[in-house]
Amino acid sequence: MSREPRLTIDWIACNGYGVCEAAAPDLIVLDDWGYPILPDGPIPPDLVPQARRAVNDCPMLALAWEGDGAPGGGRLGRLGGRR
Amino acid sequence: MSPTERLLAGPPLDGRAEPLASHRARLGELPTVPAAEMIAALEATGMLGRGGAGFPVGRKWRAIAEGSGRGTPVVVANGAEGEPESAKDRVLMAHRPHLVVDGALLAARTLGADRVELYVGREHSAAVQAVRAAVDERPAADRALLHVVEAPLGYVAGESTAVVHYVNAKDARPLATPPRMSERGVRNRPTLVQNVESLAQAALIARNGPDWFRERGRGANRGTALVTIAGPVRHEGVAEIDLGTPLAELVELAGGLTGTPQAVLIGGYFGTWARIEDAWDLPLEPESLKAAGLTFGCGLVRLLDARSCGVDYSARIMDFLAAGSAMQCGPCKYGLADLAGASGRVAAFGAKATDLIDIDRWTGLVTGRGACRHPDGAAQQMGTAMAVFADDFASHAARGRCLAEGISMGGRR
Ligand SMILES: Cc1cc2nc3c(=O)[nH]c(=O)nc-3n(C[C@H](O)[C@H](O)[C@H](O)COP(=O)(O)O)c2cc1C
Ligand code: SF4
Ligand code: SF4
């Protein structure tokens, strides 16, 4: 069964330095306080590479991948993310 | 008080807890109901949890009974009641502690739990005393299961993952909840966190069955419910009503108006505001309120007098909720503080040009962006206040003038 890829975030872990926005500028914008605003729905196919970079670059392992095509990278702390 | 009470039937609410002997004489022993039958009965009642989130109680018990969690389940009776204007849980615990204990024991027997944590807000001293005394009155076999935990102060301390965190580690901040609590909660075991009123209702359902429960109530969601009414009525306080009772009737039950309400906050500090004319005939019942864009929440019904300022009232609530953030998640920590700052400036006639637009934007921006639903609730209160008190907010911000003060009693309705 295939599942469309999505990003989830652990808000307690996120430090708000915005590394993810630098890694995925077309996918993630920062709010008034510097915290990432994630796309609502699934990650558009052409932005999957950026999303992978954001997950791999997040220093707090706050971003997680749900669905197909999870990045390898070895740094992915939380498989499947919250919930 | 109404002759139709169930939870609050029995001796008068005079500050004294009903002793076990009286409780048993009135209601008999808690019957032994097979687990499958008890869960089916709860499902048949359609009862929704009374702690605020309104999740179906039967479904929650079934999730644990049939879940894949490991270990013997734990039951937590949530009597934190951190909501400042709600008093229904503390009144229930202080006067009918044995009904709450019965409900918690019923959940434990049904789910095969070997531990019951009675989590009672420490500021509710009468409730703490009553629950402790009730446990002491129970036979040794029950006492071995029952543990009273005094919940710390704070709005968020009653949130279910905060409850589990506190019981486990004396830290009442919500968790990022990777596993479901029905699988891993207290001591990493499957955990039922259930509001004390929900449990007390279950104790009566075990005795009388789901059909009896559904005999009362007038809307889609049936049974009775505890509500707290506050504001310009003769008798502020806790009442037990048929779900679906219109607000107008609840006001009558509370002895009638002593002022002229302009609006009502329903559901708690994380609830929803409505204009009094829109809410007056509305059935107080989760489904009907939801259809009207409102929420039953924890059953708080807070009338705001026409002489009081809705901008000021909602800004104060915002300030309280911002201070109540567990400060773990950025949008909650900084967003609620900014919302409190902006609404406070508008209330105090010191608005910045951008404040109204920012309040509107930030309520959207904090929603759904925390580990728990605290920011969602805070934004809901603020957003509905902005809609209901739109003229007042505009007048405060643009003209530095409060409409409430300029209005004579009766001018609003
Ligand atoms: C910020 C916050 C505070 C809460 N405080 C309480 C509380 O004081 N008492 C309570 O029973 N539920 C409270 N809740 C709801 C609980 O998380 C949980 O849904 C409830 O205890 C479950 O019981 P119920 O299904 O019987 O309502 C709170 C939720 C949030 C988001
Ligand atoms: S990189 Fe990670 S920690 Fe940093 S802002 Fe983005 S999600 Fe938060
Ligand atoms: S959303 Fe707010 S109250 Fe909830 S855990 Fe995060 S910081 Fe704490």
* Residue A39 within any structural domain of the chain: yes
CB-based pocket (< 6 A), ligand 1 = B 49-53, 55, 78, 80-82, 155-156, 158-160, 193-195, 198, 372-374, 377
Tell me: pLDDT of B410 over 70. Answer: no
Tell me: pLDDT of A77 over 70. Answer: no
Share of chain B above pLDDT 70, in %: 96
Q: What is the mean pLDDT of chain B?
A: 94
Tell me: pLDDT of B340 over 50. Answer: yes
Tell me: pLDDT of A81 over 90. Answer: no
Residue A21 Cα, gap to closest chain B Cα (Å)? 16
* Cβ pair A24, A45 in contact under 8 A: no
Amino acid type, B369 = R
* Residue A19 within any structural domain of the chain: yes
Q: Tell me what pLDDT residue B67 has.
A: 86
Amino acid type, B343 = S
* Ligand 2 atom nearest to CA at A60: 3
| Choice among A10-14, B229-233, B250-254, B404-408 with the minimum mean pLDDT | B404-408
Q: Please report which confidence band the pLDDT of residue B406 belongs to, taking 50, 70 and 90 as the band edges.
A: low
* Residue A27 within any structural domain of the chain: yes
Average pLDDT on B273-286 reads 97
What residues does CATH 3.40.50.11540 cover in chain B? 20-214
Q: How many domains does chain A have?
A: 1
Rounded to two decimals, the pTM is 0.93
Chain A segment 15-44 residues within 8 A of B by beta carbon are 16, 31-35, 37
Q: Which fold has domain B224-305?
A: Ubiquitin-like (UB roll) (3.10.20)
Tell me: pLDDT of B158 over 60. Answer: yes
> How many CB pairs (< 8 A) connect A and B?
46
Average pLDDT on B343-361 reads 97
| Pairing verdict, β B300-305 and B224-230 | parallel
* Residue A72 within any structural domain of the chain: no
Question: For the domain bounded by B310-399, which CATH number is listed?
Answer: 1.20.1440.230
Closest residue by CA, ligand 3 atom 4: B372
Residue A48 Cα, gap to closest chain B Cα (Å)? 22
pLDDT digits (tens, 9 = 90+) for B60-69: 999 999 988 8
Q: Tell me what pLDDT residue B1 has.
A: 44
pLDDT digits (tens, 9 = 90+) for B10-53: 999 999 999 999 999 999 999 999 999 999 999 999 999 999 99
- List the single best residue of A20, A33, A82 to mutate versus B (max B Cβ within 10 A): A33
* Cβ pair B73, B189 in contact under 8 A: yes
Tell me: pLDDT of B300 over 70. Answer: yes
| Choice among B147-156, B177-186, B309-318 with the minimum mean pLDDT | B177-186
Residue B373 CA to ligand 2 center (angstroms) comes to 20
State the Cα–Cα distance between residues B225 and B228, nearest whole angstrom: 10
Query: What CATH superfamily classification does B20-214 receive?
Result: NADH-ubiquinone oxidoreductase 51kDa subunit (3.40.50.11540)
Shortest CB distance from A82 goes to which of B176, B331, B338? B176
Whether residues B365 and A14 touch (CB distance < 8 A) is answered with no
Chain B partners within 8 Å of A32 (Cβ):
334-335, 338, 362, 365
Q: Which of B243, B193, B178, B258 is nearest to B213 (CA)?
A: B243
Q: Which of B330, B371, B11 is nearest to B159 (CA)?
A: B371
- Please give the ipTM for the structure prediction: 0.87
Chain A partners within 8 Å of B181 (Cβ):
none
Highest mean pLDDT among B61-70, B235-244, B395-404: B235-244
Q: Could you write out the DSSP letters of every residue in B128-195?
A: HHHHHHHHHHS-HHHHTTEEEEEEPSSGGGGSHHHHHHHHHHS--S----SS-TTTS-GGGS-EEEEE
What residues does CATH 3.10.20.600 cover in chain B? 224-305
* Residue A1 within any structural domain of the chain: no
Q: Give strand pairing partners of B227.
A: B239
* Residue A83 within any structural domain of the chain: no
Domain that residue A54 falls in: 7-65
The CATH number of the domain holding residue A55 is 3.30.70.20
pLDDT digits (tens, 9 = 90+) for A44-76: 999 999 999 999 999 999 999 998 888 864 444
* Residue A49 within any structural domain of the chain: yes
Q: Tell me what pLDDT residue B178 has.
A: 59
Q: Tell me what pLDDT residue B286 has.
A: 96
Chain A partners within 8 Å of B329 (Cβ):
11-12, 14
